[in-house]
Amino acid sequence: MERVAFLVEETGEHIGCLLNPETVVMSRTAGVEPRRSAGGRLTGAGLADDPLLFTGGGRTELRLDLLFDVDLAPTQNPVTDVRQMTRPIWRLAENSAEVERQRRPPSVRFVWGRAWNVPGIVTEVAERFDRFGADGSPLRSWLRLVFVRIGAGADEEGGESYELLRRLPPVDLTAPAVGAVNVIGDGSGEGLGDGGAGLDGAGPVPPAELGLLSQEAFGTPLLWKLLLLYNEIDDPSAFSGPLAVPPLGEAP
């Protein structure tokens, strides 16, 4: 199994992890902030919600817990202090790079096989030692880091949907249709209570449920854009059915 690594883009340095994480927590925060005035933060009156400022963009984070132990180090490279193994990761959170005369952490890529290739920076590192040698040297470390994605949208390289889309089978947009998906109503939003959102031919699907339309047509919710493109639908908020389903090729 391929190991997690961090690739420093400026220098090409490859920093490998000793063991792969058991879990990766990925979180997304939308670009929303409380509205403020010259007098401070604006608040809602009574039970109303505080007004918000929609700034666009947002923040995507990955949180990893990594284990390092001197007993698991390669025999050709003996280690007597686990910090010899973790200090390269600590340096990723230092302001060691300079961009436009400003110091900042280096740009790196979180790489794990073909499934993960995310550009970003390491913003937080915390390390807990729980085994020590006779001289006090730490021998085992539990390292937690926060990796913030930069310079990529969800559908761009490094985005959370990019690798998933690459693994999906291709859709032949030039071939004749091989089926159809029924849609409830005329696409205006009316009539959505006239039927259930069917899967596997169980019934028609509301037009607003684009993921369900794709699931019904292809078995995955991620191809709805191609389904609309095949049916020459420009406005995903207003359309009618049934929708023609193009054939799928073989997955890469």
Q: From first to last of its 252 residues, what are the pLDDT tens digits of the chain?
A: 688 999 888 778 888 898 999 899 999 888 888 777 776 666 666 657 777 788 777 888 999 999 999 998 887 778 899 999 999 999 999 988 877 678 888 888 898 887 788 888 999 999 999 999 999 999 999 999 999 988 766 566 655 566 666 677 788 888 898 988 888 764 444 433 333 334 344 456 666 677 788 888 888 877 888 888 898 888 776 777 788 999 987 655
For residues 232 and 124, what is the distance between their CA atoms, to the nearest angstrom?
46
pLDDT of residue 187: 44
Distances (CA, A) of 130 to 16, 40, 85, 143: 22, 46, 15, 11
pLDDT value at residue 51 = 78
pLDDT of residue 114: 75
CA distance 67 to 81: 14
CATH architecture of 5-164: Beta Barrel (2.40)
Give the pLDDT score at 77: 76
The confidence score (pLDDT) of residue 67 equals 94
The pLDDT of residue 44: 63
pLDDT, position 182? 84
In this structure, is the dihedral angle defined by the CA atoms of residues 111, 115, 118 and 124, taken in order, positive or negative? negative
| 119 beta partners | 109
CB neighbour class for 222 (10 Å; exposed up to 12, middle 13-18, buried from 19): middle
Return the H-helix or E-strand segment holding 131. Answer: strand 116-132
- Domain residues of the chain, as ranges? 5-164, 169-245
Say what the pLDDT of residue 191 is.
37
